[in-house]
Amino acid sequence: MAPYIRRVAEEYCDLCDLPLSTCVHGMPKPPPPPPPAPRAPRVRTSTPRTSGVRTTSAPTRAPSRVTDQSKFRPHIVRILKQEGPLETEDMLLELEMALEDELLERDRQPTPTGEVRWHQSARMERKAMIDAGLMAGGKPGIWELTEAGRAVAY
């Protein structure tokens, strides 16, 4: 008697001895993906060049609708000359009162991080003033003019 007898009606895989209908080796290959759709022809939207000279210009951006950070400097200097060193929260309150009429609508909106946009601009100007030697940067959270900052006239 033979130890292993195959059925005659079904074909079996030579690699795993399973019926070809259930064997991974006997499964048919998946159909090929459909061909990509044909592209529409490009339509030229610009005017054709009439001369061989190529002119390039930088793309123009819409004007910024936020107050420029440099506009904060005179107010910061004036406030710190009058009040002396201030903590960040107090300085931002003083700046808000000083810039009440100058701040634009977008200045009052939050940045993607959730901070009010003009607060971020004021902090960036503080950093620029520290880098320029006009403000002391040794005390985090304290806005204080240096001797050079006090000598600046605005």
Q: Contact 53/43 with Cβ under 8 angstroms?
A: no
Segment 46-71 shows an average pLDDT of: 67
* Residue 22 to residue 5: CA distance in whole angstroms: 18
Domain boundaries, the chain: 69-151
pTM of the prediction?
0.57
pLDDT over 70 at 139, yes or no? yes
If one counts every other C-beta atom within 10 angstroms of the C-beta of residue 64, the result is 9
Contacting residues for 96 by C-beta, under 8 A, at least 6 apart = 103
What is the per-residue pLDDT for 56? 59
Segment 102-112 shows an average pLDDT of: 90
Residue 10 token pair:
């079904």
Of 82, 67, 65, 76, nearest to 98 by C-alpha is: 76
Return the CATH number of the domain spanning residue range 69-151.
1.10.10
Segment 36-51 shows an average pLDDT of: 73
